[in-house]
Amino acid sequence: SNGLMIGKRGIVMGVANNRSIAWGIAKALADQGAELALTYQGEALKKRVEPLAEELGAFVAGHCDVTEEETLDAVFATLAEHWGSIDFLVHAIAFSDKDELTGRYVETSRDNFRKTMDISVYSLTALAARAEKLMTSGGSILTLTYYGAEKVMPHYNVMGVAKAALEASVRYLAVDLGGKAIRVNAISAGPIKTLAASGIGDFRYILKWNEYNSPLKRTVTIDEVGQSALYLLSDMSSAVTGEVHHVDSGYHTVGMKAVDAPDI
Ligand code: NAD
């Protein structure tokens, strides 16, 4: 550890278990000396998040469901009370009805479209507005996106539309908050087998396809996303904002993908 994050405090939202991308990020931050707060969504996840927080010496800032405004306010009141100010925020939250992460996008229901956009897109803005008040010496906000925002990926459907809106939000927020030295960026991660990913149809096939077609010929880990997040959340990236940084073994750079991998 080089202590890149010593003296910095912040909140990581979206840890569900030890396979979560948010967990990979939290570990990388703690390893560099950051002071962390974690939240959990609902009682079922509380039991998983509490021991993980303890492992990193992080404090648990309580339950947060981004569709419930009062839980957002409660978490930020807790942070204000506990620390007074924060330096970073990680948003690793997304949701869509599993039944619509398969088949055709054209069949998306209005109800799930709204819900997907609310949880996966609006939540970043809702959190940024609250974080702005606590980032009194500037700060760094990071969200997680996917290549399905840029190109049509099988089964990603409404989540791809949501990620496109999320990436646009990153740019608008970067402009709004830039004057306060608050930076807003996204990491576009390659596919990783997490709880959320298990809702996406044919996910194993997508993993194999990425492994076969990416320049590095492999998928990525939550720890690798964590290391890249460290750059975007630390002063190493002090002139970087409004950016979507790909951590995907280079997959997005390849125009002409090969034929099917022999073993898929
Ligand atoms: P995960 O299941 O571990 O994390 C998703 C988190 O979202 C969970 O902690 C869950 O509690 C939280 N969440 C869902 N609805 C919520 C709500 N209403 N209020 C508060 N929290 C809520 O899965 P993950 O793959 O680590 O997902 C983290 C982020 O990374 C998501 O934005 C996802 O889209 C993105 N991402 C994932 C991949 C991948 O392949 N796994 C690739 C690129 C981007």
pLDDT band of residue 203 (cuts 50, 70, 90) is confident
CA 259–ligand 1 middle distance (angstroms)? 30
Contact in structure between 211 and 234 (CB atoms under 8 Å): no
For residue range 109-131, what is the model confidence (pLDDT) as tens digits?
999 999 999 999 999 999 999 99
Known catalytic residue: 147? no
Determine the atom of ligand 1 nearest the C-alpha atom of 64: 20
Structural domains of the chain sorted by starting position, each given as residue range(s) with its CATH number in brackets: 9-249 (3.40.50.720)
Three-class secondary structure of residue 100 per DSSP: helix
Between 125 and 201, whose confidence is greater? Answer: 125
The pLDDT value recorded for residue 199 is 84
d(CA 108, CA 145): 20
d(CA 238, CA 232): 8
The pLDDT value recorded for residue 201 is 77
For residue range 131-182, what is the model confidence (pLDDT) as tens digits?
999 999 999 999 999 999 999 998 999 999 999 999 999 999 999 999 999 9
DSSP 8-state code for residue 197: G
For residue range 5-22, what is the model confidence (pLDDT) as tens digits?
999 999 999 999 999 999
Contact in structure between 26 and 252 (CB atoms under 8 Å): no
Output phi, psi for 112, to 5 deg: -75, -30
CA 94–ligand 1 middle distance (angstroms)? 5
pLDDT, average across residues 256-262: 70
Range with lowest mean pLDDT among 4-8, 72-76, 78-82, 252-256: 252-256
Q: Which residues line ligand 1 (CB under 6 A)?
A: 14-16, 20-22, 41, 45, 64-67, 92-95, 119, 144-146, 189, 191-192, 194-197
Looking at the predicted structure, is the pLDDT value of residue 248 above 80? Answer: yes
The pLDDT value recorded for residue 260 is 63
* Probe target for ligand 1 pocket from 18, 96, 112, 144, with the most ligand atoms within 8 Å of CB: 144
Helices (H), the chain: 21-31, 43-56, 69-82, 110-117, 123-134, 157-178, 203-213, 222-233
* Probe target for ligand 1 pocket from 39, 41, 157, with the most ligand atoms within 8 Å of CB: 41
d(CA 211, CA 209): 5
Between 1 and 151, whose confidence is greater? Answer: 151
The pLDDT value recorded for residue 89 is 99
Three-class secondary structure of residue 145 per DSSP: strand
Look over the chain and give the mean of its residue pLDDT values, rounded to a whole number: 96
d(CA 92, CA 40): 12
Strands 59-63 and 244-247: unpaired
Residue identified by tokens 């978490």 is: 75
Closest-CA residue, ligand 1 atom 17, reads 65
d(CA 37, CA 41): 14
Determine the atom of ligand 1 nearest the C-alpha atom of 196: 2
Looking at the predicted structure, is the pLDDT value of residue 259 above 70? Answer: no
Q: Is 21 annotated as a binding residue?
A: yes
d(CA 25, CA 9): 14
Q: Is 20 annotated as a binding residue?
A: yes
pLDDT band of residue 2 (cuts 50, 70, 90) is confident
Q: Is 124 annotated as a binding residue?
A: no
- Cβ-defined contacts of 60-66 (< 8 Å, 24+): 61/11, 61/37, 63/39, 64/13, 64/39, 64/40, 65/41, 66/93, 66/118, 66/119, 66/122, 66/123, 66/126, 66/127
Known catalytic residue: 105? no
pLDDT band of residue 79 (cuts 50, 70, 90) is very high
